[in-house]
Structure 1
């Protein structure tokens, strides 16, 4: 270390810098960017995520060469002053960091051999399987899935302390948009292409195909290079951090190519006919309600309580279906721009924090027991709550009155004015409309006055 500096100093200033960066609600895409910069050192992306989530606990656990490399990239990408590694590490120590390789830790986390089910042989060295977002993340975290700069198209060249470095060319806006579509279950499945690089297996052959069982095994030691789908890989990993139960599946072609064959394949992809940016925007245009719900999932007490499937949420901790919430937001707020959506997000986050925080027994602690006797935490009721939120904002009613308003409503299943909605699936449209009408007709100021 430099004179007067210690490892503890590094941990402290780096942790402070991370918290400073996260104060602005920023996390992505800098994690992906750091991972891309450190790809040549085979750094496990999981470590970067863990450092960002809990720097005080995680930094002392990591190899100090990795901490130095992380510090350098974070300093360059964030622009935060005071975390340049040259302040703390000597030139020889920084040089030593360049020798770090995450592959050394592979034996602890390696997931190979790995067997894919329902595999189909396309050619003598090409196979078709399916892969989930969880599998993509596990293979990446296990240092099995790689980005090979020798076979990819147009890497970026960046200047760093040791000189010019090649890193992946990544379009983070594309990753962000695909992440949103994955979380909304709206991303159209498209085929990924991995290459089980020839000559990397510890067992002679990289792939073993069993036509009788229709299984494809990736043998131990094999390096899987992502030939096509790096942005989708990053989006899948990012989406999984938001929704660990994400079940989206991609078609996947696994080839067994040499470097020259892999380059030829990528070259063929580069000749695909491009689509104009305007047409792309037209094709993938999405409702602004998606961004609002994303903020609710990130910042409100609805986190992990919004179901993205239409499967029965009875006996689960989910409170509302994504579609119910999205339709209610569109019907009541009709956001026309991202700026407007941001303002609505802030208001709804605050509203639902007041609502759920005022009734933790019904919304958090005893969700399913409450459902048996009350409508208060049923899916269709959230259409009414969004209507209530809109009215409170429009009529300048303070949110601390939510508890009074909700307590004035009869949610009891035997005496409630609400129409019956089945407990085992999403309520029909007529029930949702009836609920919205009920909240639209409430005399809010009279209720508040009477409940004083």
Structure 2
């Protein structure tokens, strides 16, 4: 590139035009056609415009070709973009560039899916191998259509507010990693054959006798639900052709208005509370300590998997609050230590509930509130490390006035704010540390 031009400046130039690109499917298709000459598929383009991290990892030639197309589509002047960025020899090399790929075989339409069951009007379900899901995207058959995607992000472009694709880069990388390792859990994707995309006005035909669904020439499959999984499986496929596993795919042939109705119905589904998700995921060893505490001991029946504690039911702490507290106060290096730490906490809780049982029903006391458990767990850890017997717990806890009227809680932020920040929790933790 010419003096003063860098990859970073090139990426900033691309990022500035992405909001304009995602609101114009026609221009995206035109750019895809131009870049296909360089073996850059529409899947490759979407990968770049959806994940900023991929822009920094991409081949410089691919970035130059994309930036050039964006300039041609969105700049009003007649300037020579290539002359501004590249030397003449580099321009010649760029015109000859072809993206290398070990996957030359693409899916060409018509294409038939076998063992497909009809589940409703213009709705069919099949089990599709992850390799085929990756290949469909690579072949430009499955598409990301922001018009029918849930939770699109809103951005301001000049005087207009537009909706842009909302993909989480971390989620994409996590799913890709699970796919490569053959550890991705099967889930359901929804692909909608875009009405009017078929060359002859028909997107697919279903053979009830053969239980086969044939996608016809020109048909495009919009990802109605499962964009993160589809995109991540494609990324994994581009690194490993023999992917394991499969997804359940529901095929449909609906108008955009019908698709939006489906999205509304899916959005009505009750979300899983974050504490419950953490419990199910068991992504930390501290989570498994909490599971032990739920099984037996003083906290049995007192830990909730919901986001909020129902004190009237005898609950005192959320799963995530307790797990995070354990993670901050104990070092858990392997699974052997899980039982050991659970026993330490159980012994602390036994004395806590014995000495301060009346505080459980005292509405003026904060001792057994969920947000206090980061302090209790810290004190349990410090007493164990210092070989202080837990029967002496009351000698230390009595140094704190747990009534709501104590001005210290206002300083910590417990009574002032409805939710606890990391800063507030750190203050509580330090308060309990000072008891030893």
TM-score (normalizing by structure 1): 0.45
Radius of gyration: which is bigger?
2
